[in-house]
Amino acid sequence: MKKNPLVIGLAGGTGSGKTTVAEALIEAASNNITILPQDAYYLAQHALPFEVRALTNYDEPSAFDTELLVAQLDQLIAGETIEKPVYDFSKHDRSSQTVTITPRPVIVLEGILVLHESELRERMSLKVFVDAPPDERFIRRLERDVRERGRSAESVISQYRRTVKPMHDLFIEPTKQHADLIVPEGGSNSVALDVLSVYVRTFIAESRKLRAKNHFYSEQGLEN
């Protein structure tokens, strides 16, 4: 008998601390974890001019290629390797490059709206919502987008007012109702991080025991 992967949905507003929580899970799981970021699955916009792409509302469900995300998540769950898309935020478009992702015992599906889609939720073993005060989330987004995504401070502020804040209130905040665990104060909540880390380590230990048992039965020519 094969143990299905542990699929953790990690949601929360932009800048809430999802990345910090994901890093804690990576440390707990060592090389037994795959991170699947939802923001790699924004729709391609090759046909649109840059000026139009720059106005994209990235914080609503229709911005994502959820069909592809679900399909590739199913491939990982089935033990298959995928070619994850790459999104170029400086160009507001999907890149021609991909990244090879191999299946692991733990899959973390991370993104602002991963708990919004029922097709994703029904594949999750654990649903987590990472929370943080609005001012902290905005500052983190501003710093990240300027430093990592080649954005100007003015464009980040404009986007926050135009789409990020309204979409958070409309789409992201309500997904708390689907969470099994809410992590207040984001990545600074050491107690929550410890609980999640123990949960992941326990799952990995049980998976190893099951693999060892299956191997023993296989060598003995017995059915498990």
Residues contacting residue 206 through CB under 8 Å, at least 6 positions apart: 3
pLDDT tens digits, 104-160: 999 999 999 999 999 999 999 999 999 988 888 888 888 988 888 888 889 888 888
pLDDT tens digits, 166-215: 999 999 999 999 999 999 988 789 999 999 999 999 999 988 887 666 65
Question: How far apart (Å, rounded) are the C-alpha atoms in residues 109 and 72?
Answer: 11
> CB-side exposure of 18: number of CA atoms within 13 Å?
26
Residues contacting residue 217 through CB under 8 Å, at least 6 positions apart: 223, 224
Alpha-carbon separation of residue 157 from 53, 117, 143, 154, 206 (angstroms): 17, 27, 11, 5, 46
Beta strands at 82-88 and 93-101: parallel, antiparallel or unpaired? antiparallel
Q: Which domains does the chain have, with CATH numbers?
A: 6-219 (3.40.50.300)
